[in-house]
Amino acid sequence: MRVLLTGGAGFVGLNLAQRLLSSGATVVCFGPVAPVAAASACFACLPGRWVIEPGDVRDAGRIAELIGCHGVTHVVHGAAITAGLEREARQAADIAEVNLVGTLNVLQAARRASLARVIVLGSGAVFGAAGIGPSRLREDEIVPRPESLYGITKQAAESAAVRFRQSHGLDVAVARLGVVFGPWEHDTEVRDTLSLPFLLNRMAQAGETARLGRGTPDDWIHAGEAAEAVTRLLEAASLRHALYHVGSGRRWSLAAWCEQLRRHYPAFTYEIGVDPARVNLGGSAPAARAPLDVKRLRDQTGFAAAHDEASACASYQAWRARMRAGFGDAAAIF
């Protein structure tokens, strides 16, 4: 398998690359920013072949060129600008061009090259207010009502992928991700909102107090497990559906996560449910979505997320310790 991975330098992309390289695939990492040096150093010992190619998904010719010269057979399309409110006001056209036009460029190039499969990474941000409630969110029941420009463009990109599947004969599916956290997450120039587990970990490491206004975070999924789920969709003999939810299928306990952090960082303290004026983390976050229904993914691939708060936190801390041991100050970004 020779995979073009757009947005491969992002933290979800790096987890996907690691999973694919571990199985011997060639991974062509495509994007405007090179992956962090620690990732390339770690990936060098894996059995697959890791290739870094600069470029931008807005450049349709460059995508076609890379598919041809590397003999690409599959694509995972993860390139996106995950924009916050301030970036929306400054770069609205850039966000639309990368998130939607970039997706169309990838789909067109894949169709023309008759690639075996394309997986487009979607986002739970497409739900907006429609995602708030007690019931799990099923792929075919909830009509998305995105509120942010990021969510609007991601919904459009998902719809484009479905159109290419239904009308243009392309073997493409959308993997709509829940809130991903874990290894390789770091602050980048195109991702304005870092995960709550990552931000809490930073505060815990510094021995600070986190004051949070809500106790029901979204449907989190460990990045390694998200990568496994997407890889199974990429490798499946056939896919019955155009859209699959990728999540843990449950709400995570914010208090349980914070308690796990305290085991590793005893100076860390936290408060949940404080007055809005005292909140110092997550105050601008939208209301928590209901968990994603993941039955379709499980039935198709057999995948089910296994991590809970304790095992995910322990795994994350062990990974961070390995990074610090191997890369010293360069690992501080994680």
Supply the pLDDT for residue 296: 98
Query: For strand 49-54 and strand 74-77, is the pairing parallel, antiparallel, or unpaired?
Result: unpaired
- CA gap 233, 330 in Å, rounded: 33
What is the rounded average pLDDT of the residues 283-288? 77
Looking at residue 195, its amino acid is S
- Name the E strands within 254-299: 269-272
What is the rounded average pLDDT of the residues 121-125? 96
- pLDDT of 239 > 80? The answer is yes
* CATH match of 2-194+219-252+290-333 with 3.40.50.10860: no
Domain ranges of the chain: 2-194+219-252+290-333
Grade residue 283 by pLDDT with cuts at 50, 70 and 90. Answer: confident
Grade residue 284 by pLDDT with cuts at 50, 70 and 90. Answer: confident
Grade residue 187 by pLDDT with cuts at 50, 70 and 90. Answer: confident
- CA gap 321, 331 in Å, rounded: 9
Grade residue 214 by pLDDT with cuts at 50, 70 and 90. Answer: confident
Q: Structure pTM?
A: 0.96
Q: CA angle at residue 179 from 50 to 129, to 5 degrees?
A: 140
With b for 16 or more beta-carbon neighbours within 10 A and e for fewer, the 205-238 pattern comes to: beebebbbbbeebbbbbbbbbbbbbbbbbbeeee
- pLDDT of 21 > 70? The answer is yes
- pLDDT of 38 > 80? The answer is yes
Looking at residue 110, its amino acid is A
Token couple for 81: 């600008």
Q: In sequence order, which residues have a C-beta less than 8 Å from that of residue 167 and are 6 or more positions away?
A: none
What confidence tens digit (pLDDT) does each residue in 55-74 have?
Answer: 999 999 999 999 999 999 99
- pLDDT of 285 > 80? The answer is no
Supply the pLDDT for residue 216: 67
Grade residue 191 by pLDDT with cuts at 50, 70 and 90. Answer: confident
- Would you call 134 helix, strand, or coil by DSSP? coil
Token couple for 84: 């916050």
Higher pLDDT, 190 or 152: 152
Query: Phi/psi at 268 (nearest 5 deg)?
Result: -75, 135
Residue 160 gets the label, from left (phi > 0), alpha (psi -120 to 50) or beta, of alpha
What is the rounded average pLDDT of the residues 215-229? 90
Average pLDDT of the chain is: 95
- Quickly tell me which residue has 């036009």 as its tokens: 101
Percent of the chain's residues with pLDDT above 90: 89
Supply the pLDDT for residue 193: 83
What is the rounded average pLDDT of the residues 293-321? 97
Residues paired with 30 in a beta bridge: 6, 53
Q: In sequence order, which residues have a C-beta less than 8 Å from that of residue 77 and are 6 or more positions away?
A: 6, 7, 57, 102, 103, 106, 118, 119, 120, 121
Least Cα distance to 220 among 186, 257, 187, 192 occurs for: 257
- CA gap 201, 222 in Å, rounded: 14
Supply the pLDDT for residue 190: 78
Residue 277 gets the label, from left (phi > 0), alpha (psi -120 to 50) or beta, of alpha
